[in-house]
Amino acid sequence: MSLLTPDSVPTVVTTGASTRRASQAVTPRFKLGDRVVARNLNPIGHTRLPRYVRGKHGVIHHDHGLFVFPDTSAHGEGDKPQHVYSVRFESRELWGAIADPRASLYIDLWEDYLERA
C-alpha cells in the first residue's frame, strides 16, 4: 500500500482519498435508461447496498465511472474496479402506497449490485 506523501496531503484531506479509478477503462454493463433490479445480497462482510433497495426495480440515471468495489476491498480481496451508477427508484417502489407518487430516490450503486430487469 502506498504511503502518503506531503504534496498529496491536501488532496487526500479534501477528497477523502477517492477510490475512483479514472485511468482504467472497463466496458459498462448498463447504459442510461436501462431498467435494473437491485440484487438481494446479504453478505456477512462489508457492502454499500442498503437493505431498502434490495429486490427493488429502478432505472440507470447516470454513470459515475469506475470505482474500487468496497465489498472486496474491505476484505483484502482486491479492488475489482467497476462502474458506479446513479439509479433512480420511485418512492412507491421502495415504500409502497404511503409514499408520494411524484417522489423518487437517486442512489449510487456498484455494477455488481445490479441485474438487468
Partner 1 sequence: MNGIHDLGGMHGIGPIAPEKEEPVFHADWERRMFGLFIAAFAGGHYNVDEFRHAIERMAPAEYLTASYYEHWLHSLETLLVEKGVLKKEELDAKIAALAKEGS
Binding residues for partner 1, per CB under 8 A?
1-4, 9, 12-13, 16-17, 19, 42-47, 50-52, 68, 70, 73-75, 94-95
Fill in the amino acid letter for 31. K
The residue length of the chain stands at 117
To partner 1, the closest distance from the beta carbon of 104 in angstroms equals 15
Between 73 and 86, name the residue whose CB sits nearer to partner 1.
Answer: 73
Query: Shortest gap between Cβ of 56 and partner 1 (angstroms)?
Result: 11
Element (H, E) at 94: helix 91-95
Cβ proximity to partner 1: between 24 and 32 the closer is: 24
Cell numbers linked to 98: 404511503
**Closest to 17 in 3D by CA, of 3, 38, 28, 31:** 3
